[in-house]
Amino acid sequence: MSLAPGLLRAALGRAVVGQEAMLDGLLMALLAGGHALLEGAPGLAKTLACTSMAGLIGGRYRRVQFTPDLLPSDVVGTRIYDQHDGEFRTQLGPAFCNLLLADEINRAPAKVQSALLEAMQERQITIAGETHPLPAPFMVLATQNPLDGEGTYPLPFAQVDRFLVKIRVESPTREQELEIVDRYGAGAPRLEAVASLDDVRAWQERARAVHVEPAVRAYAVDLARATRAHPLVESGASPRASLALVALARSRATLAGRDFATPDDVRSCAAGALRHRVAWSYQLAAGERDGERELAAIIASVTPP
């Protein structure tokens, strides 16, 4: 019997003040074997949450700051000529790790994004015709800042779909901010691993075994389909969203120590699984309406079993 994932959640909660939704979302994505996209203003502990999670599971962690001059080889690796031996050898890039933090992913050009997103999907990287599998678990935590759009390369809709969940990072409350100042004023506390990669693999296995009743699966499908019927949606969530919803519901049940998923598991994960998979029509912006609020209304309109 491996360690309970709730222990990792508790340890993460000690490392990061507040941001419950972000921490839950990160852990659920980890348990589901998916990737997470974090969107929020700078200074909201996005990077701290990622580094803390990496430190707590003791995996190999790499961070890549995405910039406009980044090249695909800077992420995935390349072949370099060794003058000493007179031969080419493969230099693996930072993507060969367990947790990759792609900081400000929308600052790099499409080619780099595409190379990373391909690695996320295939879980392997091909360099000069040679395929290298990525280690397991492999998770990409990408961040982007919604405010500073100048000089960015927004992720194409099809590529955003590769992220299992999109987490909106909100500002902390006043009390939480006071605690942040108290706790981090004298520097970040040191973290020690509370779990191992074997534990993570066991949790993932446990999450995959969680039972999802047909009625709960149907609820997930109905939620995804409801986005397609909304008049202000140009393109609704794809069947991949239904799969993501069920996977996230399984993870949430595992975190709660259950071996079955409930409608609450699906509903709680719905916004994170759907928000980046719904393309709102122009009329939404013209009417100065909020997509997040409309999505909440769509979710609330579907009757759970």
**Min CB(301)–other proteins separation in Å:** 8
Q: How far is CA 300 from the centre of its chain?
A: 24
Answer for the pair 30, 200: CB distance below 8 angstroms, yes or no: yes
Between helix 263-274 and helix 20-32 the angle, nearest 10°, is 100
Whether 57 and 196 have beta carbons less than 8 Å apart is answered as yes
Query: Closest CB to other proteins among 136 and 300?
Result: 300
Alpha-carbon distances of 245 from 210, 232, 260, rounded to whole Å: 13, 22, 14
If the CB atoms of residues 10 and 215 are measured against other proteins, the closer one turns out to be 215
CB of 252 to other proteins, least distance (A): 11
Q: How far is the CB of 40 from other proteins (least distance, A)?
A: 16
Identify the helix (H) or strand (E) that includes residue 47. Answer: helix 46-57
Pick from 153, 41, 53: nearest CA to 101:
53
The residue (of 95 and 212) whose beta carbon lies closer to other proteins is 212
CB of 230 to other proteins, least distance (A): 17
CA dist., res. 120 & res. 250, Å (int): 21
Closest to other proteins by CB, 148 vs 177, is: 148
The 8 Å CB, 24+ separation contacts for 214-219 are 215/263, 215/305, 216/246, 216/249, 216/261, 216/262, 216/263, 216/265, 216/266, 216/305, 217/246, 218/305, 219/263, 219/266, 219/267, 219/302, 219/304, 219/305
Using the structure block, give the residue that is written with the tokens 């100042």. 181
Nearer to other proteins, 84 or 293 (CB): 293
Rounded distance, CA 99 to CA 96, Å? 9
CB of 54 to other proteins, least distance (A): 31
Q: Minimal distance in Å, beta carbon 91 to other proteins?
A: 36
- Report the nearest approach of other proteins to the CB of residue 203 (Å): 18
Question: What residue has token string 């949430």?
Answer: 252
Nearer to other proteins, 94 or 291 (CB): 291
Query: Residue numbers of the site for other proteins (CB under 8 A)?
Result: 147-150, 157, 211, 213, 215-216, 259-264, 267-268, 282, 285-288, 300-305
Closest to other proteins by CB, 151 or 187:
151
